[in-house]
């Protein structure tokens, strides 16, 4: 169901976070979710269009429709450096 007029549905409900310093560059995330994850020249991955933090983590707010593919990317990460936060409840989903 798509209804872009309702704030609740268009709101960026989740935030993906990448603990980039601990990424081992296996490329699983970029294979699973290429619209959101890309491999960088230094061999690690980046979140496409992310905000880079001072501690070198990356963050991107995403809509609910983009949760599943990023959860699959997080599940595919062998060193568990991809995290997803529910911004409304502050729950750390992974
Ligand atoms: S799956 Fe994890 S370790 Fe592999 S490139 Fe992506 S973030 Fe880095």
Residue 74: inside a domain, yes or no?
Answer: yes
- Rounded to whole angstroms, how far apart are CA atoms 22 and 1? 38
Q: Please report which confidence band the pLDDT of residue 11 belongs to, taking 50, 70 and 90 as the band edges.
A: confident
CA 10 to centroid of ligand 1, rounded, Å: 28
Mean pLDDT on 9-19: 88
Asked whether residue 9 carries a pLDDT value surpassing 90, the answer given is no
pLDDT digits (tens, 9 = 90+) for 29-87: 999 999 999 999 999 999 999 999 999 999 999 999 999 999 999 999 999 999 999 99
Residue 41: inside a domain, yes or no?
Answer: yes
Task: Spell out where the chain has E strands.
Answer: 14-18, 37-39, 45-47, 51-52, 58-62, 82-86
| Residue ranges lining ligand 1, Cβ < 6 Å | 18, 23-29, 45, 76-77, 79, 81-82
CA 5 to centroid of ligand 1, rounded, Å: 35
- Rounded to whole angstroms, how far apart are CA atoms 62 and 24? 24
| CATH number of 58's domain | 3.30.70.20
State pTM to two decimals: 0.89
CA 13 to centroid of ligand 1, rounded, Å: 23
């Amino acid at each position: 169901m798509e209804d872009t007029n309702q704030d609740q549905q268009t709101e960026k409900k989740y935030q993906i976070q990448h603990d980039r310093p601990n990424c081992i560059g296996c490329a699983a995330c970029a294979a699973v979710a290429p619209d959101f994850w890309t491999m960088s020249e230094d061999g690690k991955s980046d979140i496409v269009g992310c905000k880079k933090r001072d501690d070198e983590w990356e963050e991107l707010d995403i809509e609910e429709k983009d949760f599943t593919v990023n959860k699959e990317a997080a599940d595919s990460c062998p060193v568990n450096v991809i995290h997803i936060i529910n911004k409304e409840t502050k729950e750390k989903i992974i």
